[in-house]
């Protein structure tokens, strides 16, 4: 992980504003850390690397500020001893358990990905904007699930692990598309 963290940090620092350099450095890192190309590393670990790498790449290519997600203030979203969030129908929903609450937030992020892909096909033509939207939500989903899986007394572990695998597969499709692109930031259907 140290090697990856250091390379990701250098990628962020050394590729400020030069789109061709961003693309070139991204492809080098993909070749080194992609799960299909790096059979020596643990599959889940390389998926995590690609999730982080795709997020950073999307932020750099769209000229957004790359920032790490801050620790969510879950206790700030509590009313009468229950956690609340806005569900996909726009209504406030309450959950008593923190593990379920974090899982539901992760599920909402994944659902946002599917909604984006239904509205605009991420994999057909030049849909870089929607592709990076999907990557951002996948990354949020990944961070939430990772945190949820660390929790003790977790009745939702198996479901969260399955959701993590879905996020990994979706991320893999997008990163395959980004690898094959000849234009900066172009997300194409993977052959």
Q: What phi and psi, each to the nearest 5 degrees, are found at residue 33?
A: -115, -5
Residue 63 lies in a domain: yes
Q: Are 122 and 134 in contact (CB under 8 A)?
A: yes
The whole-number pLDDT of residue 168 equals 85
Contact present, 185 and 63 (Cβ < 8 Å): no
Sheet holding 82-86, edge to edge: 78-79, 82-86, 92-95
Task: Specify if 190 maps to a domain.
Answer: no
Closest among 80, 82, 88, 81 to 104, alpha carbons compared: 88
* pLDDT at residue 122, rounded to an integer: 47
The overall pTM is greater than 0.75: no
Number of domains in the chain: 1
pLDDT value at residue 67: 53
User: 3-state class of 94 per DSSP?
Assistant: strand
Q: In terms of residue numbers, what domain contains 95? A: 2-180
Residue 187, in any domain of the structure: no
pLDDT for position 180: 52
Does a structural domain hold residue 189?
no
**Rounded-to-integer distance, Cα 63 and Cα 68, Å:** 15
Please list the pLDDT of the chain residue by residue as tens digits (191 residues): 468 888 888 888 777 667 777 888 888 888 888 777 777 777 778 888 888 888 888 888 776 655 554 455 677 888 899 999 988 888 999 999 888 899 899 999 988 888 887 776 545 544 556 677 788 888 888 889 888 888 887 788 888 888 888 888 888 777 666 555 444 443 333 33
Residue 172 included in any domain: yes
Q: What is the pLDDT of residue 41?
A: 72
């Amino acid at each position: 992980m140290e090697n990856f963290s250091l390379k990701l940090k250098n990628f962020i620092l050394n590729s400020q504003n030069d789109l061709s350099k961003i693309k070139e450095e991204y492809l080098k890192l993909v070749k080194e850390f992609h799960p299909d190309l790096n059979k020596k590393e643990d599959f889940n670990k390389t998926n995590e690397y690609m999730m982080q790498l795709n997020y950073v790449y999307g932020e750099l290519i769209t000229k957004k500020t790359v920032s790490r997600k801050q620790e969510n203030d879950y206790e700030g979203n509590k009313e009468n001893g229950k956690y609340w969030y806005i569900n996909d129908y726009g209504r406030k929903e309450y959950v008593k358990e923190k593990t379920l609450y974090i899982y539901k937030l992760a599920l909402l992020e994944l659902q946002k990905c599917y909604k984006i892909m239904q509205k605009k096909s991420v994999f057909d033509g030049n849909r870089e904007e929607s592709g990076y939207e999907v990557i951002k939500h996948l990354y949020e989903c990944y961070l939430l699930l990772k945190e949820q899986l660390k929790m003790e007394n977790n009745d939702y572990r198996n479901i969260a692990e399955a959701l993590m695998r879905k996020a990994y597969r979706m991320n893999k499709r997008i990163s395959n598309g980004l690898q094959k692109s000849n234009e900066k930031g172009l997300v194409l259907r993977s052959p």
